[in-house]
Structure 1
Amino acid sequence: MSRKGLWVTVALAVALGACSSVPYAQRTAQRQAAYAAAAGEPVRSFHFFNLYSWEPLGDNQVAIYTQINRAWLLDLGPCQNLGFTNAIGLTSFGGEVSMNFDKVLVGRGYPPCFISKIRPVDVAKLKLEQQAQRKIDAEPRQPAVPAEH
């Protein structure tokens, strides 16, 4: 690739990143609010045998799904690379993940993220919260008035 082509590619990537940063931050804040509204009281630990899915919610929070309808909201200490990693891991002892003991692993070369709080998520309530966020206020268009000649 020529030097000019490289600069064009870099400029395009920066421009696209700048355009998408505001909506991404807004979307992340909405997701955090939805999970917080659906989260219950903190618990000390949860049973963990399988990581069904996960969703980063900023640099210090992650939602962990152990089943399709079973989720946990984990508050973390400072966590580098959480929003950019392709895979995470959880430490556990005897199939139990405990706060202030276990960690979220975000990849080679990054320090583990300590779990400071664990809250169960009511997945049904979360889905209702997400549907409410998707609703829009729509008004019908006014009929076009024909132009007089």
Structure 2
Amino acid sequence: MKTFPTLVWLSLVMATASCASTGMSDADELATYRAHAGAPVRSFQFFGQINGWTPLGDSAVAVWTKPSEAWLLELSGRCPGIDFAPAITVTSQLNRVSAKFDKVVPLGSGTMDIPCQISEIRPLDVKAIKQAEKSARDQPAAGSSGT
């Protein structure tokens, strides 16, 4: 893999088991995040480090830059290993992540850590997502009778 000295590689070691905690399927969770995402932006700036991430199937990931600030990163096609990687790396330039330039790399998933290009970045409404996930957790499981 070719390296660029001006890029800053961010190691993210916080894996989030959001699907297990919400009871939503990958498709439902991705649909929830997309429903609560704003218009696409060219890039986002962060200070310090990315605080966490959530895999959303094999072609999208949400990253948190602050507890109340997150971004939906849509990837160019399928990204092998992203949905079960224990960690990811996100490239940036001067703490700015840009669509169509920067990449997400799944780490430690048994794949060859293949970089996946970010095709689109959208800001997320974190409060609305938390509420939707809470509602999904609070709904009784389909088919249960409660008796």
User: TM-score scaled by structure 1?
Assistant: 0.71
| Partner-residue secondary structure (3-state), 2:118 | strand
Instruction: Return the match for 2:136 from 109, 112, 133.
Output: 133
Q: What do residues 31-54 of structure 1 show as CA deviations (whole Å, max 9, x unaligned)?
A: 112111111110000013311000
TM-score (norm: length of structure 2): 0.71
> Which residue is equivalent to 1:55?
54
* Shift of residue 97, structure 1, vs aligned partner: 0.3
Select the structure with the greater relative contact order (CA < 8 A; seq sep ≥ 6).
2
Number of residue pairs aligned between Structure 1 and Structure 2: 117
Report the equivalent of 2:86: 86
The structure in which a higher percent of residues are helix is: 1
| Rounded Cα–Cα distance in structure 1 between residues aligned with 2:46 and 2:97 | 6
Matched to 1:132, the amino acid is S
Match of 1:66 in 2: 65
Does the C-alpha gap of structure 1 residues 102 and 139 become closer, same or farther in structure 2, counting only changes over 3 Å? same
| C-alpha deviation, 1:84, in angstroms | 1.9
In structure 2, do the counterparts of structure 1 residues 140 and 81 end up closer, same or farther at CA, with 3 Å as the change threshold? closer
- Unpaired runs of 5+ in structure 1? 1-24, 142-149
Is this contact kept in 2: 1:48–1:92, CA < 8 A?
Answer: no
**Percent of aligned pairs with the same residue?**
42
Of 27, 42, 52, which residue of structure 2 is paired with 1:44?
42
Distance 1:93 1:67 in 2: 19
Return the structure number with greater strand share. Answer: 2
2:16 aligns with none
1:31 and 2:29 aligned: yes
1:105 paired to 2:108? no
Distance 1:135 1:87 in 2: 29
Give the CA deviation at 1:140: 7.2
Q: Which runs of 5+ in 2 are unaligned?
A: 1-22
